[in-house]
Amino acid sequence: MHISATVDHFRGGAPAKSPFYVLFLAVVAAISGFLFGFDTAVINGVLLFLERQFSLTTVQTETAASALLLGCLFGAAGASLVGDRFGRRKSLLLAAILFALSTVGAALANSVVLFSVGRFAGGLAIGLSSVLTPVYIAEIAPARSRGRLVSMNQLAIVVGILVAYIVSWCLSGLGEVSWRWMLGVAAIPALAFFLGLLLIPESPRWLISNGQHEKGRSVLARIYGPEQADAQTKLVQEAASTEEGSWREVFSRSMIRPLTVALGLAILGQVTGINTVLYYGSIIISQHFKGQTTSTALMANVIIGLVNLICTLIALYCLDRWGRRSMLLTASAGMAFWLALFVVANHLPGVSPVVLLICIIGYTGFFAFAMGPIPWVVISEIFPNKIRGRAASIATSTLWTGTLIVTFTFLSLVRALGVSGTFGIYAVLSVVAFIFIWKMVPETKGKTLEQIQHELHM
């Protein structure tokens, strides 16, 4: 069967009888987001020490930073096959094991090759969980709170990013072996994720779609109560009986618009450059801001991570109030403004590093307000049940492809065009993102998945 819909088949979106239970399920699943954020952002501090210990060239540094992202791409590409066959929960358990193994392996590496292999394994875990976690949460969440609950994964990601920055800053005083400890501490949340998954059920939608009707109904009853569970189980069974989605259907004419929206948001959210700040922020600040040291660069990262978290919290508050489309338009316009201001300020003689940092903070804040969380939400909403898994894997793989391209080319672009030229490209791409959202992205706030699909195919 397929990674598929939320259990919100009840028209109008039935409310949860046990909202705290739904919240618990979402929180456990979202621990993968914390690991996602930590493992991707910790490279920011690690690279400063890894470069010196292994005397890395520019290309080797880009390779070390990109190994995880290559794993993300492969993990996301295979997520639908794994998740459809074995279920969301078992697949996330596999991701938890990979998180732990990669953390220990990369921390103990004695060469950049072994380090990259360990990071690649962590990328497989992130790729799997980046597809499966939003879908799992969408499948257990009521329509009226689905946006906020799915975005908890993004909140966990930015918390992980902030914690990675704080850990890197605090452990930087340990000397040249600091990077090993920066990586190793992630084994603790990896273990917590594994243990938490043992306490939550399989997705009720996946259970019912795979013939385990009583188990699925039992989970629905825990969430919605017996009466609603019976009604929703029947509707899920009816929907599952007609599901014969194929790759041909994913690329059919009727899917052109939703697929374009998903792929466009996925790629534009990344090629606008956010990961240059998340992964190379310490290098940017220490090497391109006058008078800045390794310690001040790592401290600046903490400030950026804190703003990232605050703006994501604001996004969670606004998401089911303001709507997806209006927030995306605001964010892309804000990103273009702060990137353009950074380019202008960087050409002014004697400009203070504080001004440049404020520009980066403003850009990061607008990204976190919408371009970070909302693409994950929209991707989980706009496809029909029968092809959601395949389509989500394609969109998420596209997202990781964009991330990989930006991360693998950034230092080389800076050497060729300078920091201003490189960020100027990202400013132009932010304008492109604004135009794309304005022309193509529909509003999905407060609508059931069925209503969204009906409107997209009218």
Joined together, the tokens standing for residue 455 give: 């409107």
Q: Which pLDDT score, from 0 to 100, does residue 11 have?
A: 39
Distance from CA of residue 318 to its chain's centroid? 19
Q: Which pLDDT score, from 0 to 100, does residue 8 have?
A: 41
What CATH code is carried by the domain that includes residue 268?
1.20.1250.20
Task: Look at residue 409 and tell me if it is in a domain.
Answer: yes
Q: Which of 370, 350, 280 is nearest to 64 (CA)?
A: 280
Q: How far apart are CA 319 and CA 325, in angstroms?
A: 10
Q: How far apart are CA 345 and CA 420, in angstroms?
A: 9
Q: Which of 245, 243, 248, 256 is nearest to 457 (CA)?
A: 256
Q: How far apart are CA 351 and CA 302, in angstroms?
A: 22
Q: How far apart are CA 144 and CA 132, in angstroms?
A: 21
Task: Look at residue 333 and tell me if it is in a domain.
Answer: yes
Q: How far apart are CA 170 and CA 230, in angstroms?
A: 53
Q: Which of 149, 153, 99, 152 is nearest to 124 (CA)?
A: 99
Are 64 and 120 a contacting pair, CB within 8 Å?
no
3-state secondary structure of 388: helix
Task: Look at residue 8 and tell me if it is in a domain.
Answer: no
Q: How far apart are CA 75 and CA 77, in angstroms?
A: 5
Domain span including residue 149: 19-456
Q: Which pLDDT score, from 0 to 100, does residue 124 have?
A: 95
Q: What is the pTM of this model?
A: 0.78
Q: How far apart are CA 183 and CA 38, in angstroms?
A: 9
Q: Which of 93, 123, 89 is nearest to 106 (CA)?
A: 123
DSSP 14: P
Q: How many residues does the chain have?
A: 458
Q: How far apart are CA 392 and CA 266, in angstroms?
A: 10
Q: Which of 326, 343, 340, 335 is nearest to 361 (CA)?
A: 335
Strands of 271-337 (E only): list them.
Answer: none
Q: Which of 400, 410, 302 is nearest to 69 (CA)?
A: 400
Task: Give how many domains the chain has, as a whole number.
Answer: 1
Q: How far apart are CA 118 and CA 184, in angstroms?
A: 12
End-to-end CA distance of the chain: 26
Please say whether the dihedral angle defined by the alpha carbons of residues 47, 400, 129 and 229, taken in this order, is positive or negative.
positive
Q: How far apart are CA 228 and CA 207, in angstroms?
A: 17
Q: How far apart are CA 167 and CA 174, in angstroms?
A: 12
Task: Look at residue 289 and tell me if it is in a domain.
Answer: yes
Task: Look at residue 215 and tell me if it is in a domain.
Answer: yes
Q: Which of 144, 111, 150 is nearest to 8 (CA)?
A: 144
Task: Look at residue 159 and tell me if it is in a domain.
Answer: yes
Task: Look at residue 227 and tell me if it is in a domain.
Answer: yes
Q: How far apart are CA 87 and CA 138, in angstroms?
A: 14
Are 410 and 62 a contacting pair, CB within 8 Å?
yes
Task: Look at residue 4 and tell me if it is in a domain.
Answer: no
Distance from CA of residue 222 to its chain's centroid? 28
DSSP 385: G
pLDDT tens by residue, the chain, 458 residues: 343 333 344 434 555 567 788 889 999 999 999 999 999 889 888 888 888 888 888 888 888 888 998 999 899 888 888 988 898 999 999 999 999 999 999 999 998 899 999 999 999 999 999 889 988 988 887 767 777 787 788 789 889 989 998 998 889 888 888 999 999 999 999 999 999 999 999 988 888 888 887 888 888 888 877 777 777 777 677 666 655 567 777 787 878 888 899 999 999 999 999 988 877 877 788 776 766 667 787 888 889 889 989 998 898 888 778 888 899 999 999 999 999 999 999 888 888 888 989 999 999 999 999 998 888 788 877 877 677 777 877 888 888 888 888 888 888 898 899 889 999 999 999 999 999 999 988 877 766 666 666 666 65
Joined together, the tokens standing for residue 177 give: 């072996």
Q: Which pLDDT score, from 0 to 100, does residue 51 have?
A: 83
Q: Which of 65, 61, 63, 60 is nearest to 40 (CA)?
A: 65
Distance from CA of residue 385 to its chain's centroid? 21
Question: What letter represents residue 323's amino acid?
Answer: G
Q: Please state, as a whole number, how many other Cβ atoms lie within 10 Å of the Cβ of residue 74.
A: 16
